[in-house]
Amino acid sequence: MLVYTFDKTLDGILSAVFDAYSLHQCPDALVGKGEPLPLFCEEVHEVVTSDDRVQRVWAGLEKRVSKEAMRLLAVSYLSELSELDTPLFHYIYKVFQQAEGARSIERNFSDPDVLAVTNIFRKVMHERLRMMQFVRFQKAKDGTYLGVVSPDHDVLPLVVHHFQDRFGTQPWLIYDAKRRYGFYYDQQEVTRITFQEEETLPFDLENGKLNEEVLSEDDKLFQELWRTYFKAICIKERMNPKKQLNDMPRRYWKYMTEKQ
Amino acid sequence: MLTEKTLEKLRILAESAKYDVSCSSSGTVRGGKQGMVGNTVGGVGICHSFADDGRCISLLKVMLTNFCMYDCAYCINRRSNDIKRATLAVHELEEIVMEFYRRNYIEGLFLSSGVVRNPDYTMERLVAIAKDLRTVHRFNGYIHLKSIPGASRELLSEAGRYADRMSVNIEIPNETSLKMLAPEKDHQSVFTPMRFIQQGVLENKEDRKHLRHVPRFVPAGQSTQMIVGATAETDRDILHMSSAMYNQPTMRRVYYSGYVSVNTYDPRLPVLKQPPLVRENRLYQADWLMRFYQFKVEEIVDEANANLDLEVDPKLAWALRHPEQFPVDINRDDYEKILRVPGIGVKSALLIVNSRRFNRITSYHLKKMGVVMKKAKYFITCHELTDGYANPIVGINELHPERLKPLLVSKAQQKKAAAELQLTLNFEEEPKEE
């Protein structure tokens, strides 16, 4: 079994494709550097990521597959799932294997690699939707709206545009408590930010609540109003906790006002 | 300024509004605008939360007031009910909408109202709020306005300029039954506003062809709702009504609301221990078949099958009635035919027709694509199933529908259906006197 090790980035995977073609071989699996190798692994090749190679492979891909497929490849990588590495590599490898002008494999869902990458892409997009649904803002005294989340996949870059479009008239900060970074919008542009010292954070990473002293005065009232509304809108005769959990899994509840 | 009283009012008015099913924020794509708050995303909309009854909370669904001059038997807010009444002040409602929206709690507002004084007076107040939100508060999110039956055409065409979607509820598909339960209403008062809105939308479309900056009129179209299980209508009556509705160019959604016994004292209404949820679910499935699966209403329900089978979904029921349509060849047959196979949905059907241009699709592929093979295997062929003598085909034509059906119905489904069936039987024996 032939295994490539890489630096766990999308660039690493693209470099691996370059290496595979220049060495005239196709590895059976891609493994992150420092991770345990699979059993019966006879040969290991270490992929060195290089910008030049990445660009050549990316440019080659652009020629061979549609824009949607390029987006699919890039977005699926935000899943941060290690089981994506090998199918994603094989997907890209197969794209280059095809003859010029042949029908692109991007719609061949009977191919296990294409299907696996597509399914992971779907998962990421679903998580993106959930961010649009479940981010809850609290208003700080200075007028900034803060929302804390901890998504399974690294989807914040995918929702920034939506929030910028929707809340263009208010400054906001959406912070990913799991990956320790966030996006701040100052009514002009969005910047990616990280906090240097976590002790001085004005909010609790556990439940996303703003500290009392920075929370604006009327925010408590609106939270209470929202909770009241949430309780009132439920029809008791139709109780269906199973469906509720299905559509709104418990892992999102800790940051949601109505469930706190 | 909002106070504790507002809290109580919001509670009362949300509880009054909750029996209206519609909550979707779909149908319009409108990007953010300079200086305005919000946008609408289109597609299926965004659900911001899910209540304990599993229903989506997308819009702030609230009534302006729950005082009402009508006395409709099925309605919680009827005049003769002794419930707490409240009216939200205009500024209170507007502040709640804006603050909720800015906190990403909601997609917008679903505003309805009890009828006070006369339909025009009530409608005028709804329109005023929508106008205020758009022009004073610069709100660019979703607004769903209920049009009050009997409101004048001028008011409706003003409302349409600010609202994304408007709706009038049919409530009861049969006019005689409607008259029985709601003596002050008739179908005319529902269809007239519907027609006004439709004409407005079509005229607006024509205007926009010539002048691009003409503001859009009710861009997300109309919706309506029917109550299920309060009167004796069959599913056939209900679905024929929805099919007729969907034939109108601006009707986007018909909702079905399983009747919740809110006014148990009224002898005109059946006493149900629980709302007919299975039936409601089957109606939605049938609705989906009409909208996304290219089924005609006559195929789903006919004279012999006036009510949907509660044990199996309407698509499987259709397949069991039509064994001659099967097996469907996954590798050759049209998309429309593949869509009709039980266990294959729109998503997997698309995957299939895309992939089969590359190589032959086998049952292994189907499983990986997410087809429910437990059901689908009796209705399809992909040529690998047919080979050999050692592995004879067991499809719908070999097994016969009557022997196949029990294989596809789980015990739990049977139980649920039986429980509900019993409840609907009760209602025939309901004493009519008193």
How many other CB atoms sit within 10 Å of the CB of residue B386?
12
In a shared domain, residues A123 and A175: no
Residues of B in contact with A225 (CB under 8 A): 2, 6-7, 10, 96, 100
Please state the domain extents for chain B: 4-261, 314-408
State whether B2 and A226 contact (CB < 8 Å): no
Q: Closest partner residue to A133 among B46, B61, B359, by Cβ?
A: B46
Are B319 and B326 in contact, with CB atoms under 8 Å apart?
A: yes
Please give the share of chain B, as a percent, with pLDDT higher than 70.
94
In a shared domain, residues A19 and A38: yes
How many other CB atoms sit within 10 Å of the CB of residue A167?
22
In a shared domain, residues A113 and A173: no
pLDDT band for position B425 (cuts 50, 70, 90): very low
Class of domain B4-261: alpha beta
State whether B354 and A108 contact (CB < 8 Å): yes
The whole-chain average pLDDT of chain B stands at 89
Report the SS3 class of residue B329: strand
- The separation between CA B49 and the C-alpha centre of its own chain, rounded to angstroms, equals 18
Q: Which residues 68-107 of B have a C-beta within 8 angstroms of A? A: 96, 99-100, 102-105
Domain end position, chosen among A127, A153, A169: A127
Nearest CA in chain B to A230: B51
State whether A168 and B18 contact (CB < 8 Å): no
pLDDT of residue B342 exceeding 50, the answer is yes
Are B102 and B41 in contact, with CB atoms under 8 Å apart?
A: no
Report the SS3 class of residue B36: coil
pLDDT band for position B385 (cuts 50, 70, 90): low
Nearest CA in chain B to A138: B103
Write out pLDDT tens, residues B24-57: 888 889 999 988 999 999 888 899 999 999 999 9
Domain count, chain A: 2
Range of the domain at A199: 135-259
pLDDT of residue A101: 75
For the segment A59-72, the average pLDDT, to the nearest whole number, is 93
In a shared domain, residues A91 and A151: no
Residue B237: what residue type? D
In a shared domain, residues A85 and A163: no
Q: Identify the CA nearest to B227 among candidates B193, B190, B265.
A: B190
pLDDT of residue A144 exceeding 90, the answer is yes
Q: Classify the complex by whether its ipTM is higher than 0.85, answering yes or no.
A: yes
Whole-angstrom distance, CA of residue A57 vs CA of residue A44: 22
In a shared domain, residues A111 and A141: no
Write out pLDDT tens, residues A77-86: 999 999 999 9
Nearest CA in chain B to A171: B102
pLDDT of residue B142: 95
Domain end position, chosen among A80, A104, A127: A127
Q: Closest partner residue to A228 among B11, B60, B369, by Cβ?
A: B11
In a shared domain, residues A242 and A166: yes
Whole-angstrom distance, CA of residue A217 vs CA of residue A211: 12
Q: Which of A132, A133, A136, A242 to mutate to test the interface with B (most CBs of B within 10 A)?
A: A133
Nearest CA in chain B to A168: B37
Residues of B in contact with A144 (CB under 8 A): none
In a shared domain, residues A73 and A95: yes
Nearest CA in chain B to A239: B53
In a shared domain, residues A119 and A142: no
Domain end position, chosen among A96, A127, A158: A127
In a shared domain, residues A34 and A87: yes
A107: distance to nearest CA of chain B, Å? Answer: 6
Whole-angstrom distance, CA of residue B229 vs CA of residue B274: 11
Whole-angstrom distance, CA of residue B314 vs CA of residue A229: 36
Residues of A in contact with B103 (CB under 8 A): 136-139, 145, 222, 226, 257
Q: Which residues 405-434 of B have a C-beta within 8 angstroms of A? A: none
Using alpha carbons, list the distances in angstroms from residue B162 to A189, A203, B91, B115, B289: 30, 38, 18, 21, 32
pLDDT of residue B387 exceeding 70, the answer is no
pLDDT of residue A159 exceeding 60, the answer is yes
Q: Which of B3, B16, B25, B50 to mutate to test the interface with A (most CBs of A within 10 A)?
A: B50
For the segment A53-72, the average pLDDT, to the nearest whole number, is 94
In a shared domain, residues A44 and A90: yes
State whether A238 and B32 contact (CB < 8 Å): no
In a shared domain, residues A206 and A147: yes
Q: Which residues 258-297 of B have a C-beta within 8 angstroms of A? A: 258, 260-261, 274-275, 277
Q: Which distant-in-sequence residues (6+ apart) come within 8 Å of B294 by Cβ?
A: B336, B339
